[in-house]
Amino acid sequence: MSRPRRVVVVGHGIAGLTAADTLRAEGFDGELTIVGDEPRPAYSRPALSKALLRDIDDLASHTLPPSDHGAVELLGVRATALDVGRRRVVLDDGETLPYDGLVVASGCRPRRLGAEAATGTGPGTGAGRRDDALALRNLDDALALRERIASRPSVLVIGGGPLGMEIASGCLDAGCDTTLMSLGPPLLDQLGRWLSDLLVDAARARGLRILPADAPRPPADLVVTAVGDVPNDAWLGSSGLLGGGRLVVDSRGRVRQDVVAAGDVAAFPSTDGPRRTPLWTSAIEQARVAAAALLRGDDAVPYRARPYFWTEQFGLSVKAAGVMPAAGDPVVVDGTGDACLVQWPGAAAAVNYRIPVPRLRRLCETAVA
């Protein structure tokens, strides 16, 4: 295949940034343009619901080192359509960008509850106004949430996944009376019973009230929803690239020869079929593969999913590698109680326990003693 001379990267999160870096590292010296819908450089998204929410004095926990890929950065601009025949990306400012290689890294956005479900019932919620519920995805969301919780409102968090639990933890730390509503036990679907119990116990000990999702909604000054995410692929709607409503890529991140995708928007092959993995390290690893495939095609090394996930909440730092949710009780490899290294068949986790990721990964691949 001929190497592209003009590459456009749509998306300026860690996937888009990593793709741009990788293109340069792989020797691409052509024209490189990055389109980002936020009017700012890329930042660390995991920090938004962790350090940025918790450490009220630290406004820099999300900053990343400045880039050196030398791309033209079009920020505060959104891609609205893609014409794969004429190889053009259409932007919402009326411009069109020609390309001969395209990286789709447009990420995802929070899933919103329907208007009925998001209707606040308590004081200060302006009953019926759907936009009263905050969600946390980008830096503006995080700064808005920080500002709101500084005055210690009562908070209702809807959603018992990692994001909802991190938000609840941050609200409690800020001194807010905090309730979380969850469909089933928090974190059970993502992490399995053992880690779910551990984190839920720590949350309750710190004063988190947990209610089932179908319970009557308690009154709250502030409602925050964290009920999953939706890929930003509407701009690809007329491109013909979406299969079954999803952006499905091959093991090298390719949608077609001149279009690759990575990060939260892309469904990579997995043992359960094409799947999105909206995690920081997955976005980085996918972007490396996709950028290499755009330049070298089949010679690029295929993506191998090696999920790594971490969360910080309620005084616990949990790092997990391998297949989650993990079933049953783990074997404790080292440590005890609230600071330990544990192992399941095919998975491992470190709780308040510092361990290099390569070692944690090796533990996933080692037979449980």
Partner 1 sequence: MRIVLDRPRCEGHGLCEEAAPALMHLDDDGELVLDREELGDSETAAANAAVRVCPVAALRLS
Return residues touching partner 1 (CB under 8 A): 17-18, 21, 25, 44, 46-47, 51, 60-65, 68, 280-281, 284, 308, 310, 317, 319, 353-360
Distance in Å, CB of 187 to partner 1, minimum = 20
N-terminal to C-terminal alpha carbon distance within the chain:
48
Distance in Å, CB of 49 to partner 1, minimum = 12
- Taking the CB of residue 79, how many other CB atoms lie within 10 A of it? 23
Nearer to partner 1, 233 or 285 (CB): 285
Distance in Å, CB of 133 to partner 1, minimum = 27
Q: Verify cis geometry, omega within 30 degrees of 0, for the bond prior to 325.
A: yes
Nearer to partner 1, 65 or 85 (CB): 65
Distance in Å, CB of 121 to partner 1, minimum = 37
Distance in Å, CB of 105 to partner 1, minimum = 14
Nearer to partner 1, 75 or 357 (CB): 357
- CB of 294 within 8 A of CB of 23? yes
Nearer to partner 1, 25 or 150 (CB): 25
Cα 236 to Cα 217: distance, rounded to the nearest angstrom: 38
- 244 exposed, middle or buried (CB, 10 Å; 0-12, 13-18, 19+)? exposed
Cα 126 to Cα 358: distance, rounded to the nearest angstrom: 49
Question: Which residue, 66, 81, 69, is CA-closest to 34?
Answer: 69
Nearer to partner 1, 21 or 229 (CB): 21
Nearer to partner 1, 129 or 359 (CB): 359
Distance in Å, CB of 343 to partner 1, minimum = 17
Q: What Å distances lie between residue 177 and 121, 143, 168, 184, 220, CA to CA? A: 16, 20, 10, 21, 9
Distance in Å, CB of 312 to partner 1, minimum = 8
Nearer to partner 1, 46 or 101 (CB): 46
Nearer to partner 1, 237 or 315 (CB): 315
- CB of 319 within 8 A of CB of 350? yes
Nearer to partner 1, 99 or 280 (CB): 280
Distance in Å, CB of 275 to partner 1, minimum = 22
